[in-house]
Amino acid sequence: MLDGKSSRPTPALLLLLFAACLLAAALPAVHRGVTVPLLRTLVPSAAVKAATEPPAPVMPTATGTVLPTAFGSVQRYSLPCQLPAAGGGNGSVPGVLHIYLKALRWPQPRSGGDGPCPAHHLRLRGFVAFEFINRPPGWRAPYLFHNPPEVGRTLRLMLRGSGSSAASGGGGGGGAWRRRVPLEFLLKECEYRVREPGFDYQECLVEERRKLYSSWPSPQSAFDLGHVSLDLGPDPPLDLEIGVDGWPRWLTLAPQLAAALAAPPGRPVGGGASASASAPPLYQAMPYLRTLAIDHVALLLARSWEYHVPLGVAGLLMYVQPHWAAALAAQPLVRELTASGRVALVLWEGFAGYDGWIDYDLQVVEAHATLSLWGEGVLVLVQDPDEYLVPTTVGATLPDLLRPGTGCLAQLRTECRFLARRDIFPPAAAASGAVDEPQLWRTPGRHPLLRYGSAKYRPQPKSLVDPAATLPVDVHVTSACVGADTVLTPGNDASPDGDLRSACAQRQACDWVHPGCAWLAHVQNMVTQRVDVAAANLTDIWPAGWLWPLLGGGAGDGS
């Protein structure tokens, strides 16, 4: 329901509305119990209670179901176009611009005149990825898909509307109008340096922006995914189109906006205005595994879930490519996982791969997963199957760590937190180098993690994020968006630039989680022998009882 102006309500009506809001907030989510016989041989009895907690309502309803790519209402718009070359002159860079967008009615902060229920604005969030046909001059291919410099320097992404019909769903009028859609890009160098003594984060942002936009050619010529964040207001027009300035092809947003207006509003992490003292649920988001056998992927997925269920993880999404989606979903272990209603496979289609470039679209997949979970009221941990979350207090669960007021994770910035990683190894491998770790993880039976006890610090973290308040994750890091989107005002506009500003134009560094709270164990040799363990400088894993999720232990079993 969109909120408009009305006559002043009576006190009795206000009381009735207030009671209705409280009742809506108190209604329980519909969920399914967990009956997973095969997994009971994997999951200890201490995990049963955690496994029956209600999941967020994004999972399939039948065992073996694979969620469609658009399960979270993220729409992909693809537009062939040419961008003026960033190097100047008359050149251009042809390619396909992919625009991923999600629309939600989003609750606004309450004020004295809003009444007991919050107002809602229609919000658009997403990201852009440009696939060039030929490599631009000076292009330095990064490890993952990145945008060429033209996306940051010469692309003018535009929003336009006719403004001609009040029946279109909103105000404004008087003729066609345009606004430039602001794009914000991650400046990850600043995130890695934030713990340096005397470091000034805002000065770093200024300097990194200067290098990114002014130098050519340079190592900075690769841009991350361009982030889109728009506030269309409380009574938006529906006749909106998106396109590239100077290019004669436009894409309508009307069906997506109309569907969002008719749908229930999005749920902020923590409940927004109706927040309680409970911890927000956490979802894991994992990319597809391209090079492993199907039964191997199923085993790794089951082992990850076996460990994380006792920690109180609310759900897990793993992306899967079309050509083996059905085969993976049919694996007995995967069928039991999906039957729980808390684990789902997500079909990844529509974005072409790149021969010989294994992790080409990894950043796009992870950004899609996070965007899909925006509005579900959950935090998202972007991680791989070879990473395991370790609370430093034995027996501490995620609800303990995230509980407002007492949890160590709850003391940090709510938009995003960085979990430091440690590479872990079996002590026997550190002593002799004779342990075949990949074989351990390919063999069914006792959980291989029980063989591990040595660790080494790794500088790249992983991100725990609120999807409503962060830039797309660049595999390891992101930034907190702390500004406010300019509310769109439709109507005639002589300036194509308009006055729109993204909430992510103003940002702060994510907080690094102290290792005394939690960290991520990274099994670097899980799939292939990547490290000479005997030559590594290792220490014992702390706390000593860190494997309690696999042993059925709890608080007080060690430290």
Is residue 523 within 8 A of residue 386, CB to CB? The reply is yes
pLDDT digits (tens, 9 = 90+) for 345-390: 999 998 888 887 888 899 999 999 999 999 999 999 999 999 999 9
- CA 448/CA 425 separation, integer angstroms: 11
Residue ranges of the domains in the chain? 33-108+118-551
- CA 178/CA 494 separation, integer angstroms: 9
Q: Where are the alpha helices (DSSP H) in 223-331?
A: 254-262, 294-308, 325-329
- How many residues are present in the chain? 559
Phi, psi of 13 (to 5 degrees): -65, -40
pLDDT digits (tens, 9 = 90+) for 76-96: 999 999 998 887 667 888 999
Q: What is the pLDDT of residue 485?
A: 95
SS3 annotation, 127-155: EEEEEECCCCCCCCCCCCCCECHHHHHCC
Residue type, 52: T
pLDDT of 7 strictly over 80: no
Task: Provide the Cα torsion 111, 113, 117, 118; round to 10°.
Answer: -40
Query: How does 374-387 read in b/e, with b if 16+ C-beta sit within 10 Å?
Result: bbbbbbbbbbbbbb
pLDDT digits (tens, 9 = 90+) for 379-403: 999 999 999 999 999 999 999 999 9
**3-state DSSP assignment of residue 354:** coil
Q: What is the pLDDT of residue 559?
A: 34
Q: What is the pLDDT of residue 74?
A: 98
Is residue 216 within 8 A of residue 227, CB to CB? The reply is no
**3-state DSSP assignment of residue 424:** strand
Which range, of 136-145, 291-300, 546-555, averages the lowest pLDDT?
136-145
Is residue 539 within 8 A of residue 519, CB to CB? The reply is no
pLDDT digits (tens, 9 = 90+) for 426-466: 987 666 667 899 999 999 999 999 999 999 998 899 999 99
pLDDT of 36 strictly over 90: no
Per the model's pLDDT, the better-predicted residue between 23 and 455 turns out to be 455
Q: What is the pLDDT of residue 142?
A: 67
pLDDT of 117 strictly over 70: no
